[in-house]
Structure 1
Amino acid sequence: MKKIVNISILSLTTLFLHQCSDERFDILPNSQDAPSTIFTTEANYRLVLDGAYDAFKSPTYYNGDTGSSIILGDVLADNLILNTQGRQSNKSAYEWSYNPQTGAVTALYSSAYFVISRANTILDNLNKVPYTDYMKNIEAEAKAIRAIAHFDLVRAYAKIPTQSSDASSSLGIAYVTTFDPNIKPSRDATVSITYDKIIADLQDALAKINTSNETNGRLNKTSVLGFLSRVYLYKGDYDKVIEFGEQCISAYPSVGRNANFVNIWRDATDDGELFTILNSNLNKDNVNVGVAYNQNVSGILSEYNVNYDLFTKYLDSDVRTSAYVLRADSDSTPFNHVVKHRTRIGSSVGQVVDIKFLRSAEVYLNVAEAYMKASAPNPVRALQLLNILRAERYGTTASPYVPGTETGTDLLNAIYYERRLELAFENDRFWTIKRLGQSVVRSDFGSAADGGGGDAPTGALKTLPAGNFRFVLPIPQDAINLNPNLIQNSGY
């Protein structure tokens, strides 16, 4: 598998995390490069852009064991249960007890703006070399990266347009389009404005980006189409979900074949991957993305285990059962462990795998749902897309899947059901519940492999009612201290 060059020489970008005016940060060490010297060749733009991709692995966007985006959307919802034998990391997220001072919930806020700052540094300096087709593609990738990181921010730190009737007119986030350590941006007046900016960046990227780039660790036209289907789904523009999602499916129809599916999660195949953050097994790039779920300690010790209610939904005939879950003992007690991000084939290094940021299976589910909600619904096509996915999860050559025949509400619920199973442990569940304006309702089961144990969620840990202010995460207080123009979210 091809790997992106890890950028350490461009350490000037570490300054991007410091949003303050202290003049100490205006001086670069002699050993580091400034934009005036680094942006002199097309190849150097590529190096800096690869550094922007690498920033997705910074703590704790997709790195680290507390607050990583690889677990955040599941620990906040009903797919996981806290294992009290573990270190109980990020317990405040599981208990919905976070506040602006609780940095442990997630560092997504600073990490996403770190990614954005690297992308903006490239975009700010495009005029340093001739604007060739090569540079047009560089610009497109940088704009797509900027849009993706802003989307992750607005999904977490603002309401989702489909969440409630007042969501679109509620406060957005600060959409930052230039690198300036002294900038103190205000939040967009509405969520709709933020979504429009994300879409504008993705649309511009779509028009300029290469149909294919030289590695699946870089964005291309197909992956941008897939991201547009995601953003439009959250915006509630279902006709646009169909328009761009169908183009994505046409360009990349595989949802990940049944025979390949386990190996997708062991990094032995890229089948079904549209955008992947590469994570090589080198000393400088050994990012433990899976440690948020478990560690290899006398076997396997998990921070969180699969909620038994979800576990029972994975049938023996479902290839995802073995790809996602391992039943094993911890301190003589059997648990259902998440192994989706545990290790790659041929490696002895645990919790180090590539990050599957966007898969074609999600696009199929996005479009199927959109066909049920579009201005001109097409349930026949919705069912067809759902059955294509189910055939590769439940069917084999020896025992083919018998296509489902659901209609109406049953079909829409089947799409939701399959989304939960397919995208479990990929930072989707909480945001889907929020997007649909639903409540988080956890099961009565404990953490043991059979659902037993005395640690079943009760009381305040049982349900997060629809519309509760905690569906919108608090802006970190240290960000507000540095930038008084930021307004804290309601309830905090």
Structure 2
Amino acid sequence: MKRNIIKISFAALTAFVSLTSCDRNLDQYSSINEPADQAMSRPESFRQALDGAYTAMKTSGYYTSDAGNQIIMADLTSDNLVRGSAGRNSNFAASNFEFSSDNGQTTGLFSAAYFVISRANFVLNYVNNGVLSGTQKANAEAEARAIRAMVHFDIVRAYSKIPTQSADANSSIGIYYSEKFDPANTTGSRNLTVAQVYDKIIADLLFAADNITQNDADKGRFSKAAVYGLLSRVYLYKGDYAKTIQYGELSLTASPSITTRTNFNSIWKSSGVDGVLFQISNSATEAVTVGVAYNQLFGAGYRSEFVVDFDLFSAYPTTDIRKTTYYTTAAYNGKTYNHVTKYSTNGGPANVVPIKYLRSAEVLLNVAEAAYKSGDFTKALTLLNSLRQQRYSGFTPGIETGTALLNAIYKERRLELACENDRWYTLKRLNLPVQRSGKGDLFDGTGTVPGKQTLAAGDTKWQWPIPITAIQANPNIQQNADY
């Protein structure tokens, strides 16, 4: 019988990564060929293994390269972006709703995410081996389970229905929830409903919330405030507004800043972390160009694959700090575009910045929406005004009521979280169609109007296709409808 020989920082393959042989998955050699059991006999190896799980989020299909990069997918599949005529047509099929099981633009997340999960499960496989004890053991398990929950959530919202999307969503097909380290496993199936998957995600997060002990000084690792914030996101998607408020307020109490106007630019352009709950760390040494899916910076300027939709760009008044932080109006090859430069930098390599996975501003918007839907309109307006106070110069508090208040919350969510992997999923959970503006790619809304402009609510394309390579590796995995 073969021994599992691994390098801790690259531990584990998932059952859903395309498999070529048993040997490839059972023998994972490091430069020192150290057996896993031996490596995990040292306390420091647990930290290395957990860091390996975080590092795996920077693989292709998750948060790096261009095709299928999650930092852009929720925006190019919705109404936030327009394909730039000067670009290379990367991700155009996805932006045109041409989803298929052999196109990595919408399938890349699936295998990349299960790869991260396998690394978290590797830690959990050894957490009870007696090497760790007390709070150190509890924290390691809590952190691994938080990672596992986060990534399963990313998978289920992409490849299954969202509970609030339709009346039958909770009972519809979910995903495989991987709870053990077993890289040779080819028997897992989508045997859970959406509701059951959410229950498992929440169970992992509640354990993490109760047991995680590290503070939030290092935003590249889960803290209690980050776990609370993620619970607010999951409960909002679940439609449990009381819990959205409960855990959102716990998160905001632990980490109250929603990023001051003064600090807003620095969290995107340099090393600022004001208002950041959890980020996927990145540095000039690693040089993971997370924003390359939007554009590349040459001597001639920004060559954009996608530019911001003119109507969205126009929705930001000139007093809004986000407009100049997120976008740059500039010429390329004699034509002027509104480029997405949210992930550019003030010096250093272009597009090499940490990925802000979760911010307090989103948590505030979660709570504001949940408060409105729970009938607490005063709280909803107060929270909304507190965000707008930090984004608009000379802001006068709003007095919206009724539907106007809810629409204002939705508007601020779109403006705040644009190009941050939110818009597609917000439309999906609200069961709204994609309705693009029909404007062109140039700075004034003229120019090329590429591709399809609408996707109906309820269309089966809202559930992305399972990659054919995953089904070939494990025939138990059921494909989504109409693929």
TM-score normalised over the length of structure 2: 0.95
Partner of 1:122: 123
Q: Work out the number of aligned pairs and report it.
A: 472
Matched, 1:362 2:366: no
| 1:307 and 1:447 in contact (8 A); partners too | yes
Task: Render the CA deviation track for 1:342-376: whole Å, top value 9, x for unaligned.
Answer: 22x331x11110100000000000000001112xx
| 2:291 and 2:344 in contact (8 A); partners too | yes
Q: CA deviation at 1:25?
A: 3.2
List aligned pairs for 1:81-100, cutoff 5 A. 81-100=82-101
| SS of alignment partner, residue 290 of structure 1 | coil
Partner of 2:179: 177
Matched, 1:249 2:252: yes
Task: Render the CA deviation track for 1:432-464: whole Å, top value 9, x for unaligned.
Answer: 0000000000002100000001x2246xx0100
Tell me how far apart the structure 2 counterparts of residues 337 and 236 of structure 1 sit (CA, whole Å).
Answer: 35
Partner of 1:260: 263
Q: CA deviation at 1:130?
A: 3.5
Tell me how far apart the structure 2 counterparts of residues 18 and 100 of structure 1 sit (CA, whole Å).
Answer: 13
Tell me how far apart the structure 2 counterparts of residues 192 and 313 of structure 1 sit (CA, whole Å).
Answer: 36
| SS of alignment partner, residue 105 of structure 1 | helix
Q: CA deviation at 1:252?
A: 1.3
Q: CA deviation at 1:211?
A: 5.5
List aligned pairs for 1:195-344, cutoff 5 A. 195-210=198-213, 212-282=215-285, 285-297=286-298, 298-343=300-345
Partner of 1:456: 449
Q: CA deviation at 1:249?
A: 1.1
Tell me how far apart the structure 2 counterparts of residues 132 and 22 of structure 1 sit (CA, whole Å).
Answer: 37
Q: CA deviation at 1:14?
A: 5.9
Matched, 1:466 2:460: no
Task: Render the CA deviation track for 1:10-37: whole Å, top value 9, x for unaligned.
Answer: 3652644455662343234373333201
AA aligned to 1:474 is P
Partner of 1:489: 480
| 2:12 and 2:181 in contact (8 A); partners too | no
| 1:308 and 1:450 in contact (8 A); partners too | yes
Tell me how far apart the structure 2 counterparts of residues 180 and 70 of structure 1 sit (CA, whole Å).
Answer: 29
Moved more, 363-372 or 105-114: 105-114
| SS of alignment partner, residue 470 of structure 2 | helix
| SS of alignment partner, residue 342 of structure 1 | coil
Moved more, 295-304 or 34-43: 34-43
List aligned pairs for 1:124-139, cutoff 5 A. 124-128=125-129, 129-139=131-141
Tell me how far apart the structure 2 counterparts of residues 29 and 218 of structure 1 sit (CA, whole Å).
Answer: 27
Tell me how far apart the structure 1 counterparts of residues 176 and 86 of structure 2 sit (CA, whole Å).
Answer: 40
| 2:107 and 2:465 in contact (8 A); partners too | no
Tell me how far apart the structure 1 counterparts of residues 270 and 201 of structure 2 sit (CA, whole Å).
Answer: 30
Q: CA deviation at 1:60?
A: 1.9
Partner of 2:145: 143
Partner of 2:388: 390
- Shift in alpha-carbon separation, 1:101–1:18, aligned structure 2, 3 A: closer
Partner of 2:466: 475
| 1:475 and 1:488 in contact (8 A); partners too | yes
| 2:67 and 2:104 in contact (8 A); partners too | no
AA aligned to 1:408 is G
Task: Render the CA deviation track for 1:45-64: whole Å, top value 9, x for unaligned.
Answer: 00110111111111120011
| SS of alignment partner, residue 337 of structure 2 | strand
Partner of 2:420: 426
Matched, 1:440 2:440: no
| SS of alignment partner, residue 128 of structure 2 | helix
AA aligned to 2:396 is V
Tell me how far apart the structure 2 counterparts of residues 12 and 335 of structure 1 sit (CA, whole Å).
Answer: 41
Task: Render the CA deviation track for 1:42-93: whole Å, top value 9, x for unaligned.
Answer: 2110011011111111112001111100000000000000012110101110
| 1:211 and 1:221 in contact (8 A); partners too | yes
- Shift in alpha-carbon separation, 1:367–1:81, aligned structure 2, 3 A: same
Tell me how far apart the structure 1 counterparts of residues 191 and 319 of structure 2 sit (CA, whole Å).
Answer: 47
Matched, 1:188 2:198: no
Task: Render the CA deviation track for 1:114-149: whole Å, top value 9, x for unaligned.
Answer: 110000000011122142211211111110000000
Tell me how far apart the structure 1 counterparts of residues 120 and 382 of structure 2 sit (CA, whole Å).
Answer: 38
| SS of alignment partner, residue 202 of structure 1 | helix
- Shift in alpha-carbon separation, 1:199–1:222, aligned structure 2, 3 A: same
Tell me how far apart the structure 2 counterparts of residues 335 and 328 of structure 1 sit (CA, whole Å).
Answer: 6
| 1:439 and 1:463 in contact (8 A); partners too | yes
| 1:19 and 1:181 in contact (8 A); partners too | no
Cα RMSD after superposing both structures: 1.5
AA aligned to 2:203 is A
Moved more, 232-241 or 39-48: 39-48
| 1:443 and 1:457 in contact (8 A); partners too | no
AA aligned to 1:138 is A
Partner of 1:35: 36
| 1:11 and 1:32 in contact (8 A); partners too | no
| 1:12 and 1:34 in contact (8 A); partners too | no
Partner of 1:154: 156
| SS of alignment partner, residue 273 of structure 2 | coil
What 5-or-longer segments of structure 2 have no aligned partner? 1-5
Q: Among the aligned pairs, what percent are the same residue?
A: 48
Partner of 1:3: none
Matched, 1:53 2:32: no
Task: Render the CA deviation track for 1:192-235: whole Å, top value 9, x for unaligned.
Answer: 00000000000000010015155111111000000000000000
Tell me how far apart the structure 1 counterparts of residues 74 and 145 of structure 2 sit (CA, whole Å).
Answer: 25
AA aligned to 1:147 is A
- Shift in alpha-carbon separation, 1:253–1:130, aligned structure 2, 3 A: closer
AA aligned to 2:473 is L
- Shift in alpha-carbon separation, 1:18–1:38, aligned structure 2, 3 A: farther
Tell me how far apart the structure 2 counterparts of residues 33 and 52 of structure 1 sit (CA, whole Å).
Answer: 19
Tell me how far apart the structure 2 counterparts of residues 366 and 420 of structure 1 sit (CA, whole Å).
Answer: 12
